[in-house]
Amino acid sequence: MALDSYVTLGRSGLRVSPFCLGAMTFGDEDGLGSGVAESERILRTYLDRGGNFVDTANFYTNGHSEKILGDFFAREPGRRDRVVLATKFFGNLHLGDPNGGGAGRKAIIDQLEDSLRRLRTDYVDLYWLHNHDRTTPVEETLRALDDLVTAGKIRYVGFSNTPAWFTAQAHTTALLRGWTPVTALQVEYSLLERTVEGEIVPLAQDAGMAVLPWSPLRNGFLSGRYTRHGGRPGDVRRATAVGTPTEAEYDVIDVLAKVAEEAGVSSAAVALAWLRTRPAVTSVLVGPRRLAHLEDNLAGLEVTLTTEQVDALDEVSAPALNYPAEVNRRSASMLMYGGATVDGAKSVVYPPLLENARY
């Protein structure tokens, strides 16, 4: 697979690359990101390889991320319209202004105008709600977004970091009222963070929403640079900011390293390839800070894991899911199928059920 092996974004007609370029680290204001020159090298390489999906947010590096993208595309006539450009709203960049962020109508419109100015474009292809605004009625948010679609300023709507119940409510409300529905969900998802499998991934599967994992390497823990016996990235400041893996996380890292050695690729490539096997995952968000990181990540498109390798990674990283996910999973085979084989799997017989009901 390559970056130009495009996939459909959920239940929509939008085609995107299997890896999305995340621009959260474009801009080095905090000392942890990439300077303008390096950011542009990463972006150009991604696009030249056939990538067409770029993601940012209004508050990444205080708006500098959007400006770097805008300046780049302004110098490359015609290239912007060939790219699926996504940004997010919610983050408040105006100190003291209670309407500077969030998901109210005024906030959404003002944030979009600021993003369009920085991006030097008159529309964005995908506009994400970045977090759940508990104080704004969902109808207000959805109607404002639908109005912006009608105005041609945004084309698709996505949600990020929102609870499953709220996402389902919003999506259903939009469908019932004829407004623009939720096309995609951007969520934290990796071998070290799989709790989205309890509620959010099943929702996405049922509703036809695309899932885009962010932090697929869990702050670099799955990159191969961390080992149980002292391996650490050379960037001390970044290592201090993100901490170090726990013993349980090192159990996953060890199995990942073993599979990577078998496959002859990096741990990062295997971690990204594993995500591509997950239900509902459409495109994986990669956020390289250096061009070398991008090259390493793109190798994940060329990795095909064996069933045994996927099973090993699944087993060691199996999450403890919130109630009632585990109860439902166990009960499905124990109570529902009476020992019959369904979809290729033999069900478990509930102990009191011997042959037939007695009463």
Phi, psi of 348 (to 5 degrees): -95, 140
DSSP assignment letter at 347: P
Catalytic residues: 60
DSSP 45-97: HHHHTT--EEE--TTGGGGHHHHHHHHHHHTSTTTGGGSEEEEEE----STT-
Euclidean distance between CA atoms 254 and 316, whole angstroms: 10
Beta pairing, strands 84-89 & 19-22: unpaired
CB atoms within 10 A of CB 71: 15
Decide: 132 and 95 in contact? Cβ < 8 Å.
Answer: no
Decide: 155 and 185 in contact? Cβ < 8 Å.
Answer: no
Quick one: which of 182, 94, 99 has its CA closest to 138? Answer: 182
Quick one: which of 16, 38, 7, 17 has its CA closest to 288? Answer: 38
